Amino acid sequence: MEPSRPGVVNEASRVRGPLIQSGVVHGDIHVHHVRTEVVPRQLPPAPAHFTGRSAEMAALTTALLAEPTRDEPTLAVVTGPGGVGKTALALRWLHSEQSRFTGGQLYADLAAHGPQGPASPGELLGGLLLGLGVPAGELPAQVADRAALYRSLTADKVIAVLLDDAASSSQVKALLPASRHSAVVVTSRRRLAGLIASGGRMVPVDALPPDAAVELLSRAVGRERVDGEPVPAREVALLCGGMPIALHITAARLVVRPHRRLATVATELTDERRRLRALVAEDGELSVAATFDLSYRWLPPAAARLYRRLGLHPGVDFDRAAAAALLGESEADAEDLLGVLVEANLVADTASDRYRFHDLLRLHARRQAEREDDEEDRRAALRSVVVWFLDRAVAADRVVTPLRPHLGKRYHVPASESFPTRASALDWLERELPNLMACQRTAVAHRWHDLVWQFYEAMWGLFLHRGHYEQWTSAGAPAVEAAVRCGDAVAEVRMLIQSAALHTRLGHPSAAVAPYRRALRRAREIGDWQGEATALEGIGAAEHALGRLDEAMTCYRRSLALNESHGRHRGVALLLCYLGHALVDVGDHAAAADHFRRAADHATTVGDRHCWAQAVVGLGTALAASGSVADAIARMEHGLAELPAAETAALRVPVLEKLAELKQRTGDRSAARQHWQEALDICTTLADPRADAIRSRLGPAD
């Protein structure tokens, strides 16, 4: 029974409550109490520790405080993976702007990832109406009536609404207030394209950058503690991937264990196999893995399978073709499923149609694969993508070094796709180099020895033309060992030669001699004349660099004889160039010029413009040494023009250095400086150790 209210008294009967007195009443009588105006303050508290979201805060301000252009509230969709801090961001902004919303602030948990599934529209509208002061007993029974009442009550209000953890655009649309002066913030692990298409603004939230992650850890754990161990603190922040949930869990564990060192935590998190297990709150109620599980369980089966497969991917990022290789499906199917994962914020799409995992999500995907897929299937999927990368690298290397004799079974597999130009092939190899190196490491770990050395073979053209000396160094030793384990002596010789060549390129010729001589012995044992010729060429180059010209010329001539006897024009051209430079150094300039001219002829015969360019530059060197500097400069500039910067950056460096020296001799200091500067820029880009010597030649600017 409705209680009577004081202040409404029937003077005749002394009865309290509503009273209608009339002689005649026509129609029904409805009695309503006047509803007290309620200003809702439903928002949960703002986060205690918050940092590093200035760009996202500004984006919310732009989206929500803009002058309304339609008869609808402004709306922002804060989207990102679970645990990235979407709700914290929304709460921070809404609390900071509370005074603007005189009609109050409403909150609804849409429970997209709740244990019972997404909340129903009727339930959500009921909660919002209660917040607006509607008594529980007066809530309309029908969803449509609740929606109508909600729109009526919000029509004239300046109100903010936080709709947290939305499952879909349709779930949100029923909860939008009617006032165009209101603002709605939606958080979701999905991108909710329907809301964006209707005029909403997407505010993506990613992991915190390292400095902000350290700051968040400092605020949660205590600045003194973090300042006491700055290096481990940064390592912890990086191992948490800048993910706020991981940082908060780690901080909470440190707070309850005040004597625990950050260095110890960093060591625990370094182990990828244990990292997700370590990121669980002490009471077990909060877990990074459990947060990701909520997103994963809503994936369609095909998308879930791709998610697990991508967790096996050896590298950092990938495109749809690599995803298709892991999945064993077409690229079109893989792209459709990648779209599902991107929409769920389990995979991020980056520039140039590429995708990547957050580090912790990658570990979660791998964990799910280990739980749900048998070992044989996982191993087969992993090998398939490793072989796919190798085949693509082989196809690129064929274009980069078409005249080079190639080794390896994968070079005999017809290429499914080729590259239109040498530059495009080099660009692909360079872009995928981190993945290629990761694939080689994976092959080492799984003892796929035949693949290990073939990766080194396929990357040779990239290393030769564009440097990447760190990767060149780290890929060499495993390749040599793998060739030995395979029992492939020809491959062993090739891998030794390619590893030794790096020492000469880096200016350490003495370190190159031993592997070259080992390759020479092995080549002679198995009757590999090409390996023998190349090893002799390499020994000659190392001895030449060490100033032992007699030994160098002996090796050059033996290698030249082998190439000539087997009709290998390219090898002949290269050895004539080597001999030409040696002859310049001993002062026989006329003989040197003759060698370079013959080298150019042989290079022309096989269409090797790079070898031709080297011969022309060598001829210029011989002419300069004999006093014909102007002619030498002209020939070198002509040769340089045949070494395109996009394709042969590393090969341009010695030419540029020699041109700079000649320009300096003629008094053209400006041109000399330009050539040295270009050489320095190339070496800096390639992390080439020749940069220091060139920088010293360049000197300070005038």
CA distance 276 to 93: 30
Burial label for 252, CB within 10 Å (0-12, 13-18, 19+), is middle
Q: Is the pLDDT of residue 378 over 60?
A: yes
Give the residue, 21 or 49, on which the prediction is more confident. 49
CA distance 133 to 139: 10
Residues 6 or more apart whose CB falls under 8 angstroms from that of 282 comprise 252, 253, 256
In three-state secondary structure terms, 79 is strand
Closest by alpha carbon to 199, among 89, 101, 56, 76? 76
CA distance 665 to 636: 15
CA distance 376 to 234: 38
Q: Can you give the pTM of this predicted structure?
A: 0.80
Closest by alpha carbon to 349, among 308, 319, 313, 311? 319
Determine the pLDDT at residue 28.
46
Determine the pLDDT at residue 35.
58
CA distance 47 to 475: 47
Name the pLDDT band for 36 (thresholds 50, 70, 90). Answer: low
Least confident segment among 194-203, 274-283, 469-478: 274-283
DSSP bridge pairs for 349: 355
In three-state secondary structure terms, 239 is helix
Virtual CA dihedral for 475, 480, 482, 484, nearest 10 degrees? 180
Q: Is the pLDDT of residue 301 over 90?
A: yes
CA distance 597 to 589: 12
Token pair in block for residue 16: 């309290």
Crossing angle for the helix pair 569-586 and 529-545, to the nearest 10 degrees = 20
**Tens digit of each residue's pLDDT (9 = 90 or more) over 497-551:** 999 999 998 889 999 999 999 999 999 999 999 999 999 999 999 999 999 999 9
Mean pLDDT of 334-347: 94
Using DSSP bridges, classify how beta strands 201-204 and 105-109 pair: parallel, antiparallel or unpaired.
Answer: unpaired
Q: Which amino acid is residue 499, in one-letter code?
A: S
Q: What is the mean pLDDT of the chain?
A: 90
Q: How many residues does the chain have?
A: 702
**Tens digit of each residue's pLDDT (9 = 90 or more) over 110-146:** 999 887 889 999 999 999 999 999 999 999 999 999 9
DSSP bridge pairs for 107: 162
Name the pLDDT band for 2 (thresholds 50, 70, 90). Answer: very low
Determine the pLDDT at residue 608.
84
**Tens digit of each residue's pLDDT (9 = 90 or more) over 101-118:** 999 999 999 999 887 889
Count the Cβ atoms, other than its own, within 10 Å of residue 586. 12
